[in-house]
Each structure stands twice: as C-alpha cells, then as structure tokens.
Amino acid sequence: MTRAAEDVVLRGVEKRFGDVTAVAAVDLEVRAGELLVLVGPSGCGKSTLLRLVAGLEEPTAGEVWIGGRAVNDEAPGDRDVAMVFQSYALYPHMTVARNLGFGLRVRGTGRDEVAERVGRAADVLGLGDLLDRRPGQLSGGQQQRVALGRAMVRDPGVFLFDEPLSNLDAGLRLRTRDEIAALHRRLGTTMIFVTHDQVEALSLGQRVAVMDRGRIQQVGTPREIYRRPANLFVAGFVGSPPINMLPLACTRHGRLAGGPFVFPGTSPHPAATLAVRPEDLTITVGSPPTPAHPHGTSAHTSPTPAHPPAYTGIPPDPSVIPPGFTPGAAPDPSSPPPPFTATVRRVESLGSEQRVHLDGPAGAAWVARTSPAHPATPGDTVQVTVAWGRAHLFGPDGVRIGTPPTPTVTGGHD
C-alpha cells in the first residue's frame, strides 16, 4: 500500500521577493526514505525552501526534482507531497473526518476508500473518537495529530513539516518528536522537517542541513554538524550553551596567537578564530600550582582533571595540524596540554551538569560544561584545560581550517 519513497533534488534553486533574496542558489539532495532536517535562525529561508519543494512558491531560478521528475511547472497537488503546517491549517468548518479525507476527495477517490483510509490513519494516530469533532473543539496536541493524519492519509512520496512542533508546550513537543521519528521508521517515507530549534534538529534528523541567509551552510549527520562544523556560523548556531570563541591574529613571527595561546608553526592566514565546545574545557579549582612554562614543557605537574570531558565517547579529530601550517617547534604531543588561568563569574547548576561562566582568555566570556560533582563558586580562580584535539580553527572567511595544534600558554591569567 505504502508508495515507494521519493528523493528530492534541488538544483541551483533561488527565490527572490522583489529585492530580497530568500533562497540563494541552493543545491540539496534528499535521499529517498531519508529524514532531513532543515534548521536555521528565523528568516534564513528554510520555510521558503520547503514551500518551494511543496510548490507553494515558484523558484526564481533553478529546478526542483521529486522522484526523478522536474516539477517546476507542477501544481502542489500534483507533486505527490504532503505538508504539515506550523498552525496545522485544519479546515475549521470541516469535521476531523472531512479534514482527513479532503485531499482524497479532491482527487476523486471513492467514498468507501476515503472512509477506509481515514479510518486507518485515525487508528494509527488514536483519533478514532474525535472524527466527528471540529478542529476548534480539539486541544493543540490533538490538532497536531489531525494535521499529521491529513498528511498520512494521502500516502505521499514526500512528507514536508514546517515547524509543526513550535506551537506545542515543551512536554508535548518531546513526545510528538518521538512520534514523528517513529512514524518515519514505520513508513520509511522521505521527510523534510523544518525547525529553528537546533536541539530538535540534531535529535530528529538522520541528516541535518543548516541554513543561514538563504544559503545552506552545511549538510551532514547530526554528529558531523556538531563535531565538525563547516564554518563559524554552524559552529555558533549548533550547540547549547554556544561554542566558545576567541579571535586570533598573526604575530610578527607568523604565528597565530590570541589571549594566552601561541600556536606553533607559520600560519598561512593573517587571522583566525578559535572555537571550543563548552564540554571540551576542563576546570581545576585552585591557583596555578606552578607558573606556566614558557614552552609548555613537562616540568609542571598537571593535576589530574577533576572530571573527564562530558563527551568522552567522541574521539578527537585526527587532523592535528591543519594543512598549510608549516610545523615549527611543536610541543610534545604526549604531554598533557598546558592549562590557562581564568576567573569564575557565575555558575549555573542544572542538576545533571553545571555551566561555569568564565572570564576566558583575553577577557572573552567562555562557558565550561562540567560535572556538578566539583562545584565552583563565583570569584574562584581556576585552571582551564582545553581538549585541543576537539577544538576548531576557522579562517578569516569563517570557513573551518581544521583542528589547531596544541599551543603554548603564555603567562596564563594576568
């Protein structure tokens, strides 16, 4: 009964509204049967992109292919897609049953078959008792199910979701998210899901496409997106609390430096940005046991970290020295990386974890995500160690260069 899933391909799709470019030359391939999440800040063009796939908007340029057909000139109803809207868009003057069956009736499906398919969808979604009600008499969650059911009944090749969870309260949102994931496993249909919530995106998507200013910034598995952000925007957008950043500049010797860090080797870039996830910082409470060694040699007895990094399961990025850097006097990779000194400003205790807000290197506001087992208090001076193997270096154009080499730490905190 279930139709084969269809793939969706966008080629150079562009959409302008007057002078405003909502979607700029997007190439995207959604594989058949895949659940792809489009995520980005509001106004980034993700909803427009979805509407272009649905046919509700016409591309200014480029082509949309669904299931191997170019559908630019096809009406939305002919594209074999179903869509769930943010406001659910249930027809207020029709009962739930008529809402569910509308798409079939429009296509001239026989009365009996409509009833049968509506009944089946209602069973799956537990809407059996509500069939004679009107949308106005339903709760938000029930309306959401009806909207989902209306899409299911059509048995389309592609499901489109336009922020369908944003009108639900937090608990319901989590549950519905699980249901949609379950539905995807059950039906095996291609699904494109739009959301502005990066947590939702990472938890739901098999692959995630991050959009900003009408362009797709990165497409990849949630893990790729999180661990290897393609550029500064993706790094900053994904993850909560947001990634810690530090601008770096070239020294006279051609080395990248910023705050207490001086990176070995000669940099091909005049400037760069260092980014470290909060869970990749390790904090040791107490003043520096020994003054920092100018070249980070092993003289100092680094205390064992108070706790392991939060994401210990993720292996460090293999590339240690990004291409283009000429290796200089690299620090001994076998020795533990040198810490730097920072002051605790504020501590958020969230129960399972604590977020320590720091006056980071060069005064940048950094956050560390640590275990609550070793509480820090505001005003403490702490030693911070960076898991350099999982840090990122972004070039002046914001594109990821790679993982930085372990730097030397000068002077620590003033």
Write down the least CB distance from residue 156 to another protein, Å. 9
Q: Among 90-98, 177-185, 194-202, 229-237, which window interacts with another protein (CB under 8 A)? A: 90-98
Question: Minimum distance between the CB of residue 9 and another protein, rounded to whole angstroms?
Answer: 19
> Where in 67-86 is the site for another protein (CB under 8 A)?
73, 75-78, 81-83, 85-86
129 close to 167: Cβ distance less than 8 angstroms: no
Q: Whole-angstrom Cα distance, residue 8 to residue 159?
A: 11
State which amino acid sits at residue 210: V
In the shown chain, the binding pattern of residues 160 to 199 toward another protein, with x for contact by CB under 8 A and - for none, equals: x---------------------------------------
Which residue, 48 or 244, has its beta carbon nearer to another protein?
A: 48
Residue 192 or 225 having the CB closest to another protein: 192
Q: What are phi and psi of 220, to 5 degrees?
A: 180, 180
Q: Does 18 bind another protein (CB under 8 A)?
A: no
The pair phi, psi for residue 130, each rounded to 5°, is -105, 0
Stretch that binds another protein, among 1-9, 99-107, 254-262, 361-369 (CB under 8 A): 99-107
The beta strands (E) that lie in 260-339 are given as 261-262, 271-276, 281-285
Q: Nearest approach, Cβ of 368 to another protein (angstroms)?
A: 43
Comparing CA positions, the residue from 51, 87, 57, 90 lying closest to residue 164 is: 87
Choose one: 47-55, 163-171, 187-195, 278-286; the region binding another protein (CB under 8 A). Answer: 47-55
Cβ closest to another protein, residue 150 vs residue 277? 150
Reduce the DSSP state of residue 382 to 3 states and report it: strand
CA–CA separation, 95 vs 117, rounded Å?
16
Residue 21: burial class (beta carbons within 10 Å; 0-12, 13-18, 19+): middle
By C-beta, is 62 or 372 nearer to another protein? 62
* Closer by beta carbon to another protein, 9 or else 90: 90
DSSP H or E run through 409:
strand 408-409
Least spacing, CB of residue 87 vs another protein, in Å:
5
- The single residue among 89, 131, 172, 320 that binds another protein, judged by CB under 8 A, is 89
* Identity of the residue, 151 or 283, whose beta carbon is nearer to another protein in the bound complex: 151
Burial of 192 (0-12, 13-18, 19+ CB in 10 A): buried
Task: Pick the binder of another protein from 20, 106, 362, 365 (CB under 8 A).
Answer: 106
Task: Return the residues of window 384-403 that contact another protein according to CB under 8 A.
Answer: none
Q: Which residues of 373-408 are buried (b: 16+ CB within 10 A; e: fewer)?
A: eeebeeebebbbbbbbbbbbbbbeebebbbbbbbbb
Which residue, 50 or 235, is less far from another protein as judged by CB? 50
Residue 245's CB is within 10 A of a number of other CB atoms, namely 19
Token digits of residue 226 = 């999180």
Beta bridge partners of 272: 248
Contact 386, 284 (CB under 8 A): no
**Which DSSP category does 398 fall into?**
S
Comparison of 16 and 293: residue with beta carbon closer to another protein? 16
Is-contact 168 141, C-beta < 8 A? yes
Closest to 151 measured CA to CA, from 217, 97, 81, 207: 81
- Using CB under 8 A as the binding rule, the residues of this chain from 49 to 68 that contact another protein are 51, 54-56, 58, 61
Binding mask 119-158 for another protein (x = CB under 8 A): -------------------------------x---x----
Q: Which of 103, 214, 296, 407 binds another protein (CB under 8 A)?
A: 103
Q: How many residues bind another protein (CB under 8 A)?
A: 29
Q: Which is nearer to another protein, 153 or 232 (CB)?
A: 153
β-bridge pairing 381-386 and 392-394: unpaired
Minimum distance, C-beta of residue 89 to another protein, in the bound complex (Å): 4
In 10 A of CB 224, how many CB atoms? Answer: 15
Of the pair 106, 199, the CB lying nearest another protein is at 106
Interface contacts to another protein, rule CB under 8 A:
51, 54-56, 58, 61, 73, 75-78, 81-83, 85-87, 89-93, 102-103, 106-107, 150, 154, 160
